Structure 1
Amino acid sequence: MSEHARRPGPAPAPRLRRGLYLLTPDEPDSARMLARVRAVVPHAALLQYRNKRADRGLQSQQVRMLLPLCRAHGIPLLVNDDWRLAADCGADGAHLGEDDGDLREARAALGASAILGASCYDRLERAEAAVAAGASYVAFGALFPSQTKPGARRATPELLREAARLGVPRVAIGGITPDNARIAIDAGADLVAVIGGVFDAADPVAAARAYARCFGD
């Protein structure tokens, strides 16, 4: 049994609910990162820590800073790309892309209560395999042209509809704005994943609130 498999799992995660799936910006200043997230997290249903520019030490520090904030607001904190970092920090789970390791290994290490997401891009068969491997939710996109990933593969609303039969929450990602979010939600998205639409907005709090209102519940 690996070191990570022996490590106690995270505290039981809050139930995954519909709404805004907020991803953190690439912010090197930890205090500023925390302040930016604190302002908008009341309007989020899920937070993913994502900082592609940080080294492992900074990532660990920032995840540990975000955990009490997420606990206070009753929302799960996931770690992008790295389930081992999630395990080390006691996060509620991880989100893995196609090059981020094996979903079955991650599920075994993180435990049954962890939230484990999978990027499925534009492929329903990848989503089927992810659910079989233990994914808690599947993410499709980019649904619209994305400034964060301008060359991303494109998914369609129809793919979200087809994925309903998988029986897990569906996440839409890529170029989602408060104006087009209803297209994704009407196609079956349980969450819409956003970075720049909130953190690059002139008024991030108003932007986060606008995304949350799109769900109407």
Structure 2
Amino acid sequence: MNSDSISDIISGIYAITDPNLLTSQTALLDAVDAALAQGVRVIQYRDKLASSDQKLERAKAIHRLCKRYQAVSIINDSLELMIAADADGVHLGQTDGATALTELDIPKQKIIGVTCHDDIELAIRAQQHGASYAAFGRFYPSNTKPHAKPAKIETLIEAKQELSIPVVAIGGINAHNMSPLLDAGADCIAVINAIFGQNDTQKAANTLVSTFNRLTAGFN
């Protein structure tokens, strides 16, 4: 997948699921459907609690929903699950194989996201080894990873200068604090609680998508 198409695909609001917030398959799929209906562009299925069979069933269902809305389905950490579910891509942390991308048997058409924390060198290396996008964070206090080291907004500015792949910002982001990250060059805003931790998923997703679109309207 070339960089131009990836830039179109990895943009806007990127929603990551959390089994602690979406405790049943019905709740998960209903929330994902609601988010996609409001214009969320990317869904990452992240689940450390479900069984292997449950993960496969849910990953396949999310991929079907994403296809319906012309969005992208990403699997967190598991290349095997991505292949089994025929998802669009995989997101790897530094402990999940991101440091050895060239050694992984990833189909060429698949999207590869890599967590780079606050480290430009990790991102440059990931891009050289075939990553499709680089994710930096956390930028604000995070409910999901409260002990994660903070990232600097200056890192986003440098990333846009050094990388040709899309740059994703993550960590405690919501409609009220995303503006500085977009000004710094983030192509995509990844959220968990700002969508799936809210009482009204549809309203939360609409607010995030509308805010992103308003703030980036004059960028192009």
TM-score by length of 1: 0.89
| Structure 2 unmatched runs, 5+ | none
Give 1:111 shift: 2.1
- Note if contact 1:50-1:79 (Cα within 8 Å) is conserved in structure 2: yes
Q: Distance in 2 between matches of 1:171 and 1:181?
A: 12
Moved more, 76-85 or 196-205: 196-205
Q: Match of 1:56?
A: 52
Q: Match of 1:105?
A: 103
Q: Distance in 2 between matches of 1:214 and 1:112?
A: 34
Q: Match of 1:178?
A: 175
The one-letter amino acid of 1:139's match is A
For these two proteins, the number of residue pairs brought into alignment is 204
| SS of structure 1 residue aligned to 2:41 | strand
| SS of structure 2 residue aligned to 1:20 | strand
Q: Distance in 1 between matches of 2:208 and 2:200?
A: 13
Q: Distance in 2 between matches of 1:63 and 1:14?
A: 24
Q: Distance in 2 between matches of 1:206 and 1:72?
A: 20
| SS of structure 2 residue aligned to 1:58 | helix
Q: CA-to-partner distance for each residue in 1:71-129, whole Å, 9 max, x for gaps?
A: 000011000011121012111010000111232234xx232221100000011111111
Query: Is the aligned partner of 1:204 residue 2:181?
Result: no
Q: CA-to-partner distance for each residue in 1:135-185, whole Å, 9 max, x for gaps?
A: 000000001110110001111111011011211100000000100011111
Q: Match of 1:35?
A: 30
2:12 to 16, 19, 30: 19
| SS of structure 2 residue aligned to 1:44 | coil
Q: Which one has more relative contact order, counting CA pairs under 8 Å at least 6 apart?
A: 2
TM-score by length of 2: 0.87
Q: What RMSD in Å do the two structures reach over aligned CA positions?
A: 1.8
1:123 to 111, 119, 127: 119
Give 1:70 shift: 0.4
Q: Distance in 2 between matches of 1:196 and 1:76?
A: 19
- Note if contact 2:78-2:90 (Cα within 8 Å) is conserved in structure 1: yes
Q: Structure 1 pair 58/13, CA: closer, same or farther in 2 (3 Å)?
A: farther
| Structure 1 unmatched runs, 5+ | 1-11
Q: CA-to-partner distance for each residue in 1:177-210, whole Å, 9 max, x for gaps?
A: 1000111111111111111111111322121112
The one-letter amino acid of 1:97's match is G
Q: Match of 1:3?
A: none
